[in-house]
């Protein structure tokens, strides 16, 4: 997590690990990809951690009071992607940042609950 010294509401998250040389470190089963095709530096590498780091980005509250939003995956360098499908990275999310946002997630509950005794 990175917290801005100038703006207390600017808290960013990324899924990174670093080795003794302060180089990006990803486990042997983590997804990796080149950042060059996405406008990154030539030879640059980004990746996702093995189990994924998911971020809930709330949307403005609707008139009826319901809160909605979307889940995204945060890469090791803090880039935001749509959720992966199987072992393939999701597409890069447009106009979504890695800044933590005040909001909440209401899990979906079943309409009926059955008890088996």
In a structure prediction context, what are the per-residue pLDDT tens digits for the chain, which is 117 residues long? 778 888 877 888 777 666 777 676 777 777 787 887 777 777 777 777 767 788 888 877 667 767 788 889 888 888 898 988 877 888 889 999 888 877 665 555 444 444 454
Range of the structural domain that residue 10 is part of: 1-117
Total structural domains in the chain?
A: 1
Burial class (CB in 10 A: 0-12, 13-18, 19+), 107: exposed
């Amino acid at each position: 997590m990175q917290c801005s010294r100038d703006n207390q509401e600017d808290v960013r998250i990324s899924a990174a690990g670093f080795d003794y040389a302060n180089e990006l470190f990803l486990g042997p089963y983590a997804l990796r990809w080149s950042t060059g095709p996405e406008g990154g530096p030539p030879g640059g590498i980004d990746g996702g951690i093995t189990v994924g780091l998911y971020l809930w980005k709330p949307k403005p509250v609707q008139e009826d009071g319901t809160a909605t939003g979307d889940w995204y995956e945060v890469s090791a360098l803090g880039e935001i992607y749509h959720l992966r499908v199987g072992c393939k990275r999701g597409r890069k999310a447009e106009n979504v940042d890695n800044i933590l946002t005040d909001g909440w997630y209401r899990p979906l509950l079943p309409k009926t609950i059955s008890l088996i005794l």
